[in-house]
Structures are given as C-alpha cells and as structure tokens.
Amino acid sequence: MPELLQLDEEWVELIVQAKEIGLNVEEIREFLQANTNKKEII
C-alpha cells in the first residue's frame, strides 16, 4: 500500500491560486526554481 503524503495546506493554496490566474505547471516550477536560492536580507 502506498504511503500517504502530508501536504502543506499553504503550498497547496498557492499552487491553486497560480493555476487560477493561468500559470501552468512548468511556469510554477520555473518560478520556484529561480527563487529557491535567493535570500532576502531584512
């Protein structure tokens, strides 16, 4: 039997919103990869 994955509800909501504004999966993936290594200094 496959293991159940626990998804972060905030991430799921962000993905749903991105798709609602017309972004496709590849555009979401590219955005996340481009911004993964950036750190914001406050």
For the residues 2-26, what does the mean pLDDT come to? 90
Domain borders along the chain are 8-33
27 sits in the region (left: phi over 0; alpha: psi -120 to 50; else beta) called alpha
The predicted structure's pLDDT at residue 13? 94
Encoded amino acid at 13, one letter: E
Q: How confident is the model at residue 16 (pLDDT cuts 50, 70, 90)?
A: very high
Cβ pair 28, 18 in contact under 8 A: yes
pLDDT surpasses 60 at 27: yes
The predicted structure's pLDDT at residue 38? 66
On whether the pTM is more than 0.85, the answer is no
For the residues 28-39, what does the mean pLDDT come to? 81
For the residues 9-22, what does the mean pLDDT come to? 93
